[in-house]
Structure 1
Amino acid sequence: MHVVSSFDHSIYLELAITALEEAGIPKAHIYAIPLRRRSEKPKIFDTIHRSDGVSLFDAGVALGTALAVVGSSYGFKLKGGPILWGIIGAIVGFILGFIIDVIRKKKRPSPTSSTQNTEVVVLVTCTKEEAGRVEAIFWDHLAFGVAVCE
């Protein structure tokens, strides 16, 4: 049987491996594989195939709507009329909101920053009788997730 678990790269991982060795699992049956971090910087603009869940469109639409209302309200007093000033307000508001979102996204810490540790996947080969004990050890040492494979 195989018991697979993922941990944060921390002292709890070391404690879990030590507890496994104390429980009678040989070192040769414990495999700890650290995952590598992404080396490329995240892209600012999303594509149709990849999205990071951060929209650069929201603030632009909100500011565009607000400035369109303000522009059309003052457009009754200005030369050109409310429709022209509403359109101008919408365009200026959208551009301002888009620029604000781009600046905020650039300042946001990257998920690939060096301060974050990577995850470590631990694979333990054991007998059926030991699988429950190994799983309990993983859960006791703050594993992210545990899977038992026959």
Structure 2
Amino acid sequence: MHVIASFEHSIYLELAITALEEAGIPKEHIYAVSLQGKPNKPKMFDTIHRSDGVSLFDAGTALATALTVVGSTYGFILKGGAILWGLIGAAVGFTIGVFIDIAHKKKKKAKTNLPSRNKMTEVVVLVACDKEATKQIQDVFWEHHAFGVAICE
């Protein structure tokens, strides 16, 4: 039989493995595997199927709207007309807004990359044992804050 449990990388995992060894389970019957986290490769554009909640167009559209109004307002007195200066204001505002969003995203990414706490993963522990020891092993796992425990026959 096998008893499978998942843990967070913590001292409780080490304590659980030590408790199992003290209970008479040989080291050869205990197998622990650390799961790897998904690499964080941010995408520049969101799709209809996937979105990370970060948009590069928020500040761009807001500044484009604001500078379109300013450009078309002053376009009545400038050479070229209101439409041309409104389009110039939209292009300049959108460009500045996208650069602001990119700079903000890089600054935020630099802050979150300092500690690697967000990359914590789980550890899966598999113990091969006989049927009589499954309850004891399951209790040890629950006492040491396992996320979940399963018994496979």
TM-score, normalised via structure 2 length = 0.66
Deviation at 1:37, TM superposition (A): 6.2
Q: Is the 8 A contact 2:6 2:149 kept in 1?
A: no
Aligned to 1:29: 29
CA RMSD in angstroms, aligned pairs only:
3.6
1:86-119 CA distances to partner (integer Å, 9 max, x unpaired)? 2112111111121122222223138776734642
Determine the C-alpha separation between the residues in 1 that align with 2:76 and 2:5. 66
Aligned to 1:115: 116
Percent identity (aligned): 54
Summarize the Cα distance change of 1:5–1:110 in structure 2 as closer, same or farther, 3 Å threshold: farther
Aligned to 1:95: 95
Determine the C-alpha separation between the residues in 2 that align with 1:30 and 1:66. 64
Deviation at 1:21, TM superposition (A): 3.2
Determine the C-alpha separation between the residues in 2 that align with 1:100 and 1:3. 52
Q: How does 1:1-150 map to 2 (within 5 A)?
A: 1-36=1-36, 42=41, 45-46=44-45, 53=52, 54-107=54-107, 108-109=109-110, 115-116=116-117, 118-119=120-121, 120-127=123-130, 130-131=133-134, 134-143=137-146, 145-148=147-150, 150=152
Bigger Cα Rg: 2
Determine the C-alpha separation between the residues in 1 that align with 2:125 and 2:14. 11
Determine the C-alpha separation between the residues in 1 that align with 2:100 and 2:19. 51
Secondary structure of the equivalent of 1:21?
helix
Secondary structure of the equivalent of 1:5?
strand
1:6-54 CA distances to partner (integer Å, 9 max, x unpaired)? 333221221222233345543322211224567x883663587x96713
Unaligned runs of 5+ in 1: none
Unaligned runs of 5+ in 2: none
Q: Is the 8 A contact 2:5 2:125 kept in 1?
A: yes
Greater fraction helix = 2
Matched AA of 1:66? A
Determine the C-alpha separation between the residues in 2 that align with 1:18 and 1:56. 49
Secondary structure of the equivalent of 1:109?
helix
TM-score, normalised via structure 1 length = 0.67
Matched AA of 2:65? T
1:64-94 CA distances to partner (integer Å, 9 max, x unpaired)? 2222233233333433333222211211111
